[in-house]
Structure 1
Amino acid sequence: MRYLAIGELARRVGLRASALRYYESLGLLPGARREGGRRMWPATAERRVALIRMARRAGFTLAEIRGLLDPDTTTGASRQWRALATRKLPELDTAIEELRLLRAAVADCLECGCMNFASCGLLSGASDGDHQGPGRG
């Protein structure tokens, strides 16, 4: 089995070595073996870190992720993952909608072009009819 030094694993996954040590301390990564005082993880740790990062970006807590990765719960991990993911989907849908609205607001500001933040009707909540940007009145 191929092993990666902490620096190499950190480079491959785009994290600092301190983040990997933190994940290890939380039990998200299995304890690294030591070679010459350096932490060494099996190459499969790269995939595990990718899963951790995906789950974090999706809003899962570190405790939830640890529960999913716990070797003592591997038989129930599939059911546990399904339950967590089912609960997480509505939160992700809400975040997507919020981002869609934010994107629309930024696009409206670009279209307006007034760049007068003190009196911009888009930023003060005024209706489009009250807005005095170029081409708006």
Structure 2
Amino acid sequence: MLFLDIGEVVERTGVPPSTLRYYEEIGLIRSLARHGLRRQYDHDVLLKLSLISMGKAAGFSLPEISGMFGRDDRPDIPRAQLHARAKELERQIIELRMLRDVIRHVADCPAPSHLECPSFRKLLKSATNRTTNRAPQAAARRAKSVPQR
């Protein structure tokens, strides 16, 4: 079986060599051999790097992602954790849509001053209420994600 040289992995994934070495250091991936000083990887590293990238894009930390790889490096993803993250992403989507609507309204509003526009004031109040109501929940999430020593 032929291995992928670190340069090939970088070329195929766009993941820098320093990141590959870091992932190896923290146990997310592992090289199987060396050709001189260059690390060699199994072809499965490409799939694993895709999963790591997707996990990071979804907002999971590297320790959380590491915990999703079970025995024999096979994904063992806790579905409850995925459902919770999907719910959080849905909340972010709603907030981003609201922000988009406020920006579009500001760009298109014919009122001489945005503060005089009832629609703008309503959008602003709605956005402020969402942020204010979310603050205690966000603080609880941050406290929960801090590792205990």
Q: TM-score, normalised by structure 2?
A: 0.67
Gaps of 5+ in 1: 132-137
- Of 91, 100, 103, the match for 1:103: 100
Instruction: Find runs of 4+ consecutive structure 1 residues off by over 6 angstroms.
Output: none
Alignment of structure 1 residues 29-44 onto 2, 5 Å: 29-44=29-44
CA distance 1:97–1:61, shift in 2 (3 Å): same
Could you say which residue in structure 2 is the equivalent of 1:49?
A: 49
CA distance in 1, matches of 2:27, 2:84: 24
- 2:81 is aligned with 1:84: yes
Which structure has more relative contact order (CA 8 Å, sep 6+)? It is: 1
Alignment of structure 1 residues 1-137 onto 2, 5 Å: 1-71=1-71, 77=76, 80-112=77-109, 121=114, 126-129=115-118
CA distance 1:17–1:112, shift in 2 (3 Å): farther
Gaps of 5+ in 2: 121-149
CA distance 1:72–1:4, shift in 2 (3 Å): closer
CA distance 1:18–1:120, shift in 2 (3 Å): farther
Could you say which residue in structure 1 is the equivalent of 2:137?
A: none
Aligned length: 120
Q: TM-score, normalised by structure 1?
A: 0.72
CA RMSD of aligned residues (A): 2.8
Identity of aligned pairs, percent?
A: 34
